[in-house]
Amino acid sequence: MTSAALRTEADPGIVTRALNLWYADFQALKGIDLDIKRGEITSLIGPSGCGKTTLLRCFNRVNERYGYVRTTGEIKILGKNIYDPDVSLIELRKSVGMVFQRPNPLPISIYENIVFGMRIHHDRRQLSKSQLDAAVELALTEVGLWNELKDRLEQRATGLQLEQQQKLCIARLLPVKPEIILMDEPCSALDVEGTRAIEELMWALRGRYTIVIVTHNMAQARRASDECIFMLMGELVEHRSTAELFLNPANPKTAEYIEGRYG
Amino acid sequence: MEHEVVTLGAQPTRRSMAPGGDAARRRMVESLTEHVLEWVIRLCGISAILFVFGIFFFVLREGVGLLFGDFSLWKFLSSTEWYPTSRSNVRYGVLSLIVGTLSVTTTAMLIAVPFGLGAAIFVSEFCDKRAKEGLKIVIELLAAIPSVVWGFIGISVMNPLIQTVFHVPVGLNVLNGALLLALMSVPIMVSIGEDALKAVPDSFREAAVALGATRWQVIYRVLVPAAKNGLLAAVLLGVGRAVGETMAVLMATGHAVNIPHSVFDPVRTLTATIAAELGEASVGSPHYQVLFLIGILLFSITFAVNLTADLIVKGVRRK
């Protein structure tokens, strides 16, 4: 991992240029140009169907699982266009991790969930037991689950509380050493306490990882992000620092949305 | 006529105020049909249980009488000598038949399990929607071929094929029967296995894909473990189908009472023995009763296999 000190404002995490995306005939993203800063938390807000989740799912190209998706334009992550033909989806997804709306730990043990990424990217012989153990401890410590779970690592991860499941889903990204973490409404299945815990965790991870979070909850965007992007009907309307966007939005549509006139 | 019109027009109000003669009669008829229908449906539901127990009772009644004589159950199960029509020394040993059934079934499963589960994975994970529907229809057509037609194929296609490919004198043997049984049990495995894979939430696939897993890794690290019970049930139902199959194996395995030493030896199965001999055994004779005893044995085997499969599937649902 490169150290946080090397990251400057001039060194963007994600850059998109003229990004268009169609689901069959429906155009879901229209000419998106944006620069997401490295090491910061950027939130994507906008009403349902505005394309924010679609945009997020472009960054690790996970939306290509559906055959009818077509994309034009470019997305540069860490200086490399991810739509170049020589890009390996596996390498891309190693450096861009994703957390989903509903916590989705795999139906295996807590331990195996965390080392899953290591197991699929390394030969069995390359991984020693002590290496795996160390990775599990480090990842769980980072998300603040180690003390709660260290004595029951062999239990099924699907039996944990939702908040723990979501933290585990974040923890399992860390051993793969991502640069960017995408979060698709990570708190929508959680209660107030769980939401607070995940937001605190995001702040703790901020700096070492570039975090992009989609949220329906404007208060959450305001609390938990450095920059905020407002989208509408597949277009990027406004991208500014969160404080500015909520205090004096430049675009009247943004103002109306954050006042709750529609959404 | 006029009176009728008036009645019809006035009915709604009359019915709501106080039930008159017409409406009361209709309500009575309605409640009666309701009751009758309910009972008919209830009967349909119970009938399955009645039939199963009825059949079990019938088979048991025909065969069980033998057990109270000087008949040795141990000898029946452990002897390989099956001479039911010998004049001087009648011997009823079904071990060769049991081994015959087991050898054909096991070989069939060795072929069908990788084939069937592979097809289930292909249909569920690799096909687009149209190819999937097409493939499923074709695979289910396999299940629609009557078993006697499979027997024809065993005799006229597989037999010479096995002779030329493996250079053996006879092509009617364990391998021939097993190939047919494999093809016959694949459709069950595919449709149950596909259901099991379809039941794995898409979020699991997404989680693995987003971590950079390849398609193959998603299958063997996520889907197969997650659908493990359903896939096992698919295999067991295939086994149940193979154990109980009669006509195709009767025609294709050579029908010789014999403990096989290789897949190229002919054998005879429990089912084929009943089918071939029941017509010639005189009703009530020891031979006739022994055949029913074999029926009980078969029934117990398939019952055990199906019950296990059922319990496994239930286990999936409980989690």
Taking only the tens place, the pLDDT of each residue in A36-62 is 999 999 999 999 989 999 999 999 999
pLDDT interval class at B316 (50, 70, 90): low
pLDDT of residue A65: 83
Domain shared by B180 and B301, yes or no = yes
Residue B3 reports pLDDT greater than 60: no
Domain shared by B48 and B171, yes or no = no
Domain shared by B155 and B23, yes or no = no
Q: How far apart are CA A165 and CA A107, in angstroms?
A: 11
Cα B30 to Cα B20, B21, B23, B24, B37: the distances in Å are 15, 14, 10, 10, 10
Domain shared by B64 and B107, yes or no = no
Out of A222-226, B193-197, B227-231, B307-311, which region has the weakest mean confidence (pLDDT)? B307-311
Q: How far apart are CA A211 and CA A225, in angstroms?
A: 9
User: What's B257's DSSP letter?
Assistant: -
Q: How far apart are CA B281 and CA B287, in angstroms?
A: 6
pLDDT of residue B162: 95
Q: What is the mean pLDDT of residues B11-36?
A: 74
From chain B, the residues in CB contact with A98 under 8 A are: 210
Question: How far is the alpha carbon of A69 from chain B, nearest alpha carbon, in Å?
Answer: 14
Chain B interface includes A5 (CB < 8 A) = no
The pLDDT mean for chain B works out to 88
CATH code of the domain covering residue A24: 3.40.50.300
Host domain of residue B314: 77-318
Q: Residue A182 is encoded by which pair of tokens?
A: 């995408």
Of B14, B42, B68, the one marking the end of a domain is: B68
Domain shared by B16 and B122, yes or no = no
Q: How far apart are CA A176 and CA A121, in angstroms?
A: 8
Domain shared by B215 and B115, yes or no = yes
pLDDT of residue A100: 94
> Are B212 and A119 a contacting pair at CB < 8 A?
no
- Tell me, yes or no, whether A246 lies in a domain: yes
pLDDT of residue A10: 53
Domain shared by B146 and B258, yes or no = yes
Domain shared by B84 and B208, yes or no = yes
Question: How far is the alpha carbon of B115 from chain A, nearest alpha carbon, in Å?
Answer: 26
Q: How far apart are CA B47 and CA B57, in angstroms?
A: 15
pLDDT of residue B7: 46
Out of A85-94, B120-129, B199-208, B309-318, which region has the weakest mean confidence (pLDDT)? B309-318
Residue A226 reports pLDDT greater than 90: yes
Strand partners, B157: none
pLDDT interval class at A180 (50, 70, 90): very high
pLDDT interval class at B317 (50, 70, 90): low
Best CA proximity match to B298, nearest among B163, B98, B84, B53: B98
Q: Amino acid letter at B145?
A: I
pLDDT of residue B234: 92
What proportion of chain B, given as a percentage, has pLDDT over 70?
Answer: 92
Domain shared by B15 and B122, yes or no = no
Beta carbons within 8 Å of A202's beta carbon, 6+ residues apart: A41, A183, A211, A213, A224
pLDDT interval class at B20 (50, 70, 90): low
Domain shared by B251 and B201, yes or no = yes
pLDDT interval class at B2 (50, 70, 90): very low
Host domain of residue A187: 4-258
Residues A122-149 pLDDT 10s = 988 888 999 999 999 999 999 999 999 9
10 Å Cβ neighbour count for A74?
Answer: 14
pLDDT interval class at B102 (50, 70, 90): very high
Of B16, B51, B68, the one marking the end of a domain is: B68
Q: How far apart are CA B294 and CA B276, in angstroms?
A: 13
Residue B17 reports pLDDT greater than 60: no
Best CA proximity match to A166, nearest among A199, A204, A134, A135: A199
Domain shared by B24 and B84, yes or no = no
What part of B 123-162 touches A (C-beta under 8 Å)?
128
Question: How far is the alpha carbon of B222 from chain A, nearest alpha carbon, in Å?
Answer: 7
| Domains: count for chain A | 1
Residues B67-77 pLDDT 10s = 887 788 888 89
From chain B, the residues in CB contact with A169 under 8 A are: 207
Residues B237-275 pLDDT 10s = 899 889 999 999 999 999 899 899 999 999 999 999 999
- Tell me, yes or no, whether A137 lies in a domain: yes
From chain A, the residues in CB contact with B221 under 8 A are: 116, 119-120
Question: How far is the alpha carbon of B225 from chain A, nearest alpha carbon, in Å?
Answer: 8
- Tell me, yes or no, whether A229 lies in a domain: yes
Q: Residue B286 is encoded by which pair of tokens?
A: 């020891």
pLDDT interval class at B23 (50, 70, 90): confident
pLDDT of residue B263: 92
Q: What is the mean pLDDT of residues B205-221?
A: 92
Q: How far apart are CA A205 and CA B264, in angstroms?
A: 66
Q: Residue B239 is encoded by which pair of tokens?
A: 């086994």
From chain B, the residues in CB contact with A102 under 8 A are: 203
Q: How far apart are CA B258 and CA B260, in angstroms?
A: 6
Best CA proximity match to A164, nearest among A138, A135, A144: A144
Chain B interface includes A94 (CB < 8 A) = yes
Q: How far apart are CA A232 and CA A48, in angstroms?
A: 9
Of B68, B95, B125, the one marking the end of a domain is: B68
- Tell me, yes or no, whether A263 lies in a domain: no
Q: Which long-range contacts (CB under 8 A, 24 or more apart) does A113-118 make?
A: A113/A157, A113/A168, A113/A172, A114/A139, A114/A140, A114/A168, A114/A171, A114/A172, A114/A175, A115/A175, A116/A172, A116/B208, A116/B211, A116/B221, A117/A172, A117/A173, A117/A175, A117/A176, A117/B211, A117/B212, A118/A175, A118/A176
Nearest C-alpha in A relative to B201:
A104
Q: What is the mean pLDDT of residues B230-234?
A: 91
Q: Residue B126 is encoded by which pair of tokens?
A: 């690799």
Q: Amino acid letter at B207?
A: A
Residues B174-200 pLDDT 10s = 999 999 999 999 999 999 999 999 999
Q: What is the mean pLDDT of residues A197-215?
A: 93
> Are A120 and B206 a contacting pair at CB < 8 A?
no
Q: What is the mean pLDDT of residues A204-220?
A: 92
Q: Give CA B47 to chain center in angstroms.
A: 19
> Are B203 and A102 a contacting pair at CB < 8 A?
yes
Q: How far apart are CA A106 and CA A171, in angstroms?
A: 13
- Tell me, yes or no, whether A48 lies in a domain: yes
Q: Give CA A53 to chain center in angstroms.
A: 10
Q: Are A41 and A224 in contact (CB under 8 A)?
A: yes
Please count the residue pairs, one from chain A and one from chain B, whose beta carbons lie less than 8 angstroms apart.
61
Among B125, B200, B211, the residue to mutate for chain A (most A Cβ within 10 A): B211
| Domains: count for chain B | 2
Strand partners, B267: B254
Q: Are A40 and A251 in contact (CB under 8 A)?
A: no
Q: Give CA B200 to chain center in angstroms.
A: 25
Q: What is the mean pLDDT of residues A84-108?
A: 92
pLDDT interval class at B18 (50, 70, 90): low
10 Å Cβ neighbour count for A14?
Answer: 24
CATH code of the domain covering residue B233: 1.10.3720.10
Residue A12 reports pLDDT greater than 90: no
Q: Residue A43 is encoded by which pair of tokens?
A: 């939130």
- Tell me, yes or no, whether A60 lies in a domain: yes
Domain shared by B138 and B161, yes or no = yes
Higher per-residue confidence, A4 vs B58: B58
Q: Residue B263 is encoded by which pair of tokens?
A: 């897949």
- Secondary structure tally for chain B: helices H, strands E: 15, 2
From chain A, the residues in CB contact with B222 under 8 A are: 106
Nearest C-alpha in A relative to B205:
A106
Q: How far apart are CA B104 and CA B19, in angstroms?
A: 71
Q: What backbone phi and psi angles, to 5 degrees, belong to B140?
A: -75, -25
Q: What is the mean pLDDT of residues B96-116?
A: 95
Beta carbons within 8 Å of B311's beta carbon, 6+ residues apart: none
